[in-house]
Structure 1
């Protein structure tokens, strides 16, 4: 029997400079890549500057609005969706950058280490100290953007103040739902299945075959997958196939019938129906818009 471990599951490798291992920048809307479930090897902070949308993180949905702050852990299975005029400040950083500070304050990364137990991904927007966190993030971005002398030290110190403030002020004893939290091992299993689905999306997967990949009964697998991903496994497979089809439609040399078959749809009529239902336009209309 194959043992599935966290180290066996590939994650998105975010390349950051060794001497200054963080990314800071605004994103407008949500690119299609980030609408697909993913996980990465860095810690992430999001400040919603304007607009609305929602995250799905480990199967839980978090609706966000202007002023909200979210923390994304390195193992969090997540995707984001825009509902209106979204502008988001994204800060990604390598936790090893804070090793020296951990000697002084071993709890500095507790907001991530204790996520789902004593902290939540979406910080309390009504908390009296939330405005302080926003100010720290905006100051951090300004220092990074201006790049003046010693800006790396100031950015580092602002990041520490941000994390320390959360650790001190935003701790929630036994956060709601902690008892029903999906275990890390269960998340690893779902990641493994998602990777196999994405590698072989044209395969005619059945629920039983997917469940067998991680040695679970179909009903047990379906329940865990839905809680982790936010939708049933076969529906997620349709989304993977449709996303691949959208990319193929950019190639005007491929016939739509061939695209349908390449993406695992058995009939053109089924492809057209599902494409229209989930994308909001027919494949022909989508190709015309992309052209």
Structure 2
């Protein structure tokens, strides 16, 4: 999977699908494009476009059709949608599921930061019918820890030079299953505490965080918080934090020219040595090898 210039790809996609793009995507946004294998097209739920958009008020997308389902999670600000003759808004902390094969228009309300996944295949049609029902689209508060964990895993996987379609398909199933299992009436106090902890880690991952600090932030003892976090996410708080830092490091390695030492510092690792060791354990190669492989892949795709 290759990291592309978001605004250029966005405009290109919309031109091919009867749409228009008025810009508004800021340079720090990212999009990852993957062309699925024949096996994925026939057997898996697969993601072709995964990204993170930071938009100003001029952001606008209008399409007559796009042959994917859209999963979007709004992290801040808000977005408006025109779909099936209806106007509705999606605000910070909410998730949207939309069938893009119908005409649709959406844009930012003042400004917006959101993550998105365009996917299809497998049992995605059945899940969409289950979730959207007669309303025709699906919106809910994005409170599911299972869903947030799966989205985080997908963003980690798409920045991996090896790109594992099977593991990404598993995470997409996790997201859809989590949405299908939600009653829409909010999660427990314990679940909310874990979500607050995840949000805190995402805002402060570059700092020298301790598990005790994170537990204090959500008013729980370190012992109870660690057990609760593992029960909700199937990983320890420390493992989640390291995984988050590795994900950010992957993005910087493929999307910037910053040195390995600088990336280690910006991603919250105690030392470059610690960063390289953790990166090798999670990715299977050193940061320099990962960057070199990503550059080689990009050059090969440019020659196609």
TM-score scaled by structure 1? 0.47
TM-score scaled by structure 2? 0.45
Larger strand share, 1 or 2: 2
**Which one has more relative contact order, counting CA pairs under 8 Å at least 6 apart?**
1
